[in-house]
Amino acid sequence: MPPSVMPTSIARTGTRVMTLHANAAKSAVAVPKKTATRRWRLASWAPVIVLVLLCAVIAAINPNFLSFGNFVRIAQAAMIPLVLGLGATFIILMGSIDLSLEGVLTLSAVILSMLVLNGANANDLGLLAIPIVLLVGAGVGFVNGTIHVRLKVPSFMVTLGTWFIGVGVANALIGGTAIRINDKLVRALAIARDPVIGFPWGVWLALLCFLIALVIQNYTRLGRYIYALGGGEDLAALSGIPAARVRIMAFTLAGVFYAVGGILAAAQLGLGNSQIGLGRLFTTITAVVVGGTALSGGQGGVHQTLIGVLIVVVLSNGMVLMGIPPSVQIGVQGLMIIVAVALSMDRKMMRIVK
């Protein structure tokens, strides 16, 4: 073989070998990825199956579960956890955590009670107080996101601080007492029922919030960016996604949903006090995780949070119908969140568990 031909022939052979190796590598990566995707799709249906089986078991034990009045009670019990869960879902999808939920809810409920007809002061803004409360929630969320991003403080610590600050400010505003809400329109948001189906208006407001969250998640750039950050912030940044801005917007959006939860809680109880948000965080995180949203981020969504909220509320309702003591109910919820986290995490992809 002439010398001039040998380098060309060797180069072509080397190119073919490199191409074969590259194709083999792609195939080796593609198979596990497809398998993981298929596994996740099957796992995403697990909460729905659990909900159906749970309803069937409870109905078999106590037929009163299937009564219309009980469905109304379930819907009314689910409306506040659903709204709160929508905000928490966006944060968890990014792989972060937001503990300020109870603080924002408490502060929002107290401010609402102070701005409407209450007998404690001369304020009577009525429904005009709602936009102010939403701005307060958005402001707290914006502060959470800004401190988290700009000062590089972990979201856990930032929101833990604002949780206590929110409750403290609310307590200072009302002096440790409770302010009763006398505004009929505000109370009607949670207790008045529509004349057609008979569900409280608060249930329809919660479903409206769900639809808004679903549109943001699936049809906006913010929703896509939130998923991208949960899948890997370094890769998202390399793709040109403004990670800092997205995180601040997500925390601000979560604050708005928490404020809606505070409005519904105050309207439902007819008052605002510093204890109104007690226990809401545990129920919300339980519902989000049980619904199938992974704490590691990037997997899940608000549609699965809806299923998770229904599982938690139906289970609680069923245990009441079966006469199970409240202390046992709390233990069952704690066990449920541990099992849900264990099932939702892919331990094969994690080398270190912190």
Per DSSP bridges, beta strands 271-272 and 179-180 are: antiparallel
Q: What are phi and psi of 271, to 5 degrees?
A: -165, 170
Residue ranges of domains in the chain: 1-44, 45-345
Position of tokens 């659903």?
A: 82
- Residue 31: what pLDDT? 42
Residue 343: per-residue pLDDT: 65
Which residue ranges of the chain lie beneath pLDDT 50? 1-22, 24-31, 33, 347, 349-354
Q: What is the pTM of this model?
A: 0.85
Closest CA to 247 of 151, 166, 170, 134: 151
Instruction: Classify burial at 173, counting beta carbons within 10 Å of its beta carbon; exposed 0-12, middle 13-18, buried 19 or more.
Output: middle
> Do residues 152 and 96 lie in contact, with contact meaning Cβ atoms separated by under 8 Å?
no
Q: Please check whether residue 222 is in contact with residue 250, taking contact to mean a CB–CB distance below 8 angstroms.
A: yes
The CATH class, in words, for 45-345 is mainly alpha
CA distance linking residue 52 with residue 114, whole number of Å: 42
Strands of 148-289 (E only): list them.
179-180, 271-272
Judge whether 86 and 210 are in contact, CB under 8 Å.
yes
